[in-house]
Structure formats: structure tokens, C-alpha cells
Structure 1
């Protein structure tokens, strides 16, 4: 998605950038994290969870990247309707997010607790992070709508006017950083140091995604603007 734009209509499949290569499934080379045994009761379980975290991001990117943008595989599965295809991807990404959250909660609850994090000060910090994170995520979804939130530009569903109101006047990627804040808040609330490592993985995955996603989606809209300008000159 191109954060900060408001949906106005559906562009045809011909609106494809000619110069910028699309982001493939994001390759995030993460080193093996050896956690101190006092903070992680099962190293193997934690490594499996780390893989699941990265896997959900890779799956979503693979579905919405090269395959859909160039070959329209998801659109074809929905009878050639790109809007329905985008909705289908939205349900998939949303469902994967729920599964990831359940795995995260289940995993860190079984990990050792750090008593220091049980203090009222840290609990207040945790609730603050959770509140601010959810506000950023939900308000950005409200501003962008379903297609704006769930990679509609890969389906040719382009946006017209940039949204500069909250939360986009705070950060260009409110959903990513709001989600990261929520994971960090959960780790503190449960007083589980293992959650900090998972939060770091989420942060790294989002950072890599932004590095590829922003230039690619920016080129989509730049090409659309060039075509509009060329059309006005010829008319």
C-alpha cells in the first residue's frame, strides 16, 4: 500500500511500472538468536516461533508481490474481479495476523518472567504502548479503507488524494509502527523478556518491507501521473 492516499477508483492492469522491479517475497536474513536459558524455557520452541513470525510476512508478500502484480493470479481466482481479489487477500492477511498474535501470546506466556517488569511503572508503560499502538493501527485502517490497507495498488486499485490527517501526520507508516508498539507492550505486560526478541524481529521485518514497498508503490503512482499528464497534452 501507499500509505496516506485515499481510494478513488480502480485502474486497469496496464498501470504497471516499467522501471522498478517489484518486491519479491522479502528475504530477511535474521541471525539465530540464542536466548539466555533463564529467559527462554525452550530454545527450539522459540526458534520455531521466530520462523512462524517471519513466515507470515513472507507469505503475505509473496501473494501480493510479483505473482499478483504481473500475473494477476489472485484476481483470476476471483473471476477476473480485482476488487474481490483484494478483499480475498485482505481476509488472508488479517487471518494470518490473528494466528500470529495467538502464537505470540501462547509462546511468551510459557516463557520465564522477569519480576522487574511486574512493577506498576512498567505496567503503565505497557498499557501506554498498547493503547498508542492500537490507535495508530485502527485509525490508519479507517483512513485508508480495506483496499488502501491491504495492498490494493497491486491489484490496480489506485488512490488519488493523499491523506495528511491523523495518524499520517505522526508517521508515514502508522500501521507498521503501531503494530510494533503493540508487540512491545504485550511483552512488557506479560513481563516476558522473550517477547522483546520477537518484537525486534517484527521491527526488522517491517523495516525491510518499507525499504522495498515505498519505492515500488511510489513508482506505480508516478507512472499513473505521467500517463495522465500525457493524456492531457494529447487531448
Structure 2
């Protein structure tokens, strides 16, 4: 199959003329970009911490991240409804979609339960650190279960609404989160290493 024929066949599955598609993609990328920029600035300069304190600042940022995530999900559903609809067999549309969506939500909920509010919503950037690394479920089976769970939720919704475009968006979500993790992972490791080094100096 040539590149042009591939694009032609793809255009029957995805309507690239719909603004809602690009608004959804923008909202997906804006979330991790926003919390990484704000979090890194806070860790280095303590801009908000100096004004209103670490816990209040972290709580406000966490709340903003939570509602931004809800808005992202709403925009994703709106984008799906503007895309071509391809009916699926009931077993796939309902059974498979709920299995994928349920697994995704389980990973997200379990991750939140293990990390807590501050562990989930960038508390480490504000100096609110956990005593030790979380290794129980779901962190005993994967490194980033919250991100994996989020991607699965996008995939499950794509099957539920029977929109192939949703799978393309889910792939984009995976790409965005992979890029975010490339920066977040080493930075978080550095924060905890610095905490460990400080503790040794104090003893």
C-alpha cells in the first residue's frame, strides 16, 4: 500500500476537518505540559510556596489538574461524536470496551489510593514527599500504572462510542505521556535523591 492510499483509507476513519479533534489533542498535551512547567518552577523557585505555603499551593495545583483532566475527557467525547461512526459487534462494543475501560479505571484508582492526593498531584515538587517508594499494587506490576490506566480509558471509550478516531487519539495520548515521563521520571528521581542526601547531612 502506498503512502497516499494509506492516507486515503485513513481519511475514511478519521475526519481531519473537525476543529473538535484538534481542540481535544491540544487539551491532552496541555495537561502534562502545564503541571510539569509549574511544578519545576515551584521546585526551583518556590514561587507559590513563598506566597501561600507548600500544602495550600499543592492543593490548588492538584485541584486545577483534576478539573483540567475532566475537561480533557469532555473534549475527547465531543471530538469522538464529530468523528465517523463504525458499528461494532456487541461483544466488542460493550464487552471489550468495558473490560478495557474498567482495567484502566482500576489502575488509575489504585494508583491514587497508593499515592494519595499529594503523591498523585505533584506534591513532590512542593517538597511533600512520601517516606518510601510505593511498591504495592499496581506499582508491583508496572512503573507508571496511572498513565497506562489513562491510555486504556481512552481506548475503551473509542470502542464504546465506535469511533476509530478514538484509537488514533489514544495513540497520541500514549505518545504525549511517554514524552512527559521522559522528563518527569529523572526529575522525580533527582528530588528524592536530594532528599536522601539532605537527610544524611543532617545525621
Q: Deviations over 1:53-105 (max 9, x none)?
A: 2123222222222x21112222244x2x1011100000000010000000001
Q: Distance in 1 between matches of 2:158 and 2:144?
A: 22
For structure 2, the 5+ residue unaligned runs are 1-6
1:43 aligns with 2:17: yes
User: Which structure 1 residue ranges, 5 or more long, are not aligned?
Assistant: 1-32
Give secondary structure in 2 for the equivalent of 1:36. helix
Query: Normalization by structure 2: what TM-score?
Result: 0.88
Q: Tell me which moved more, 93-102 or 39-48.
A: 39-48
Please point out which of 153, 157, 179 is paired with 1:208. 179
Matching residue within 54, 62, 68 for 1:90:
62
User: Kindly tell me: are residues 118 and 191 of structure 1, through their superposed partners in 2, closer, same or farther at Cα, counting changes over 3 Å?
Assistant: farther
Query: For the residues of structure 2 that align with 1:118 and 1:108, how far apart are their CA atoms?
Result: 19
How do 1:96-111 residues align onto structure 2 when only pairs under 5 Å count?
Answer: 96-111=68-83
> RMSD over aligned Cα, in angstroms?
1.9
Distance apart, 1:39 and its partner CA:
2.1
| TM-score, normalisation: structure 1 | 0.77
Higher helix share goes to which structure?
2
1:219 matched to 2:187? The reply is no
Look up the match of 2:28. Answer: 53
Question: How do residues 127-138 of structure 1 correspond to structure 2 at under 5 angstroms?
Answer: 127-138=98-109
Which structure would you say has the larger RCO, counting Cα contacts within 8 Å and 6 or more residues apart? 1
SS at match of 1:160: coil
- Quick one: distance in 2 between partners of 1:229 and 1:34? 61
Rounded Cα–Cα distance in structure 2 between residues aligned with 1:191 and 1:137: 23
Per the TM alignment, residue 35 of structure 1 is displaced from its structure 2 partner at its CA by 8.3
Q: Which consecutive segments of 4 or more residues in structure 1 shift more than 4 A?
A: none
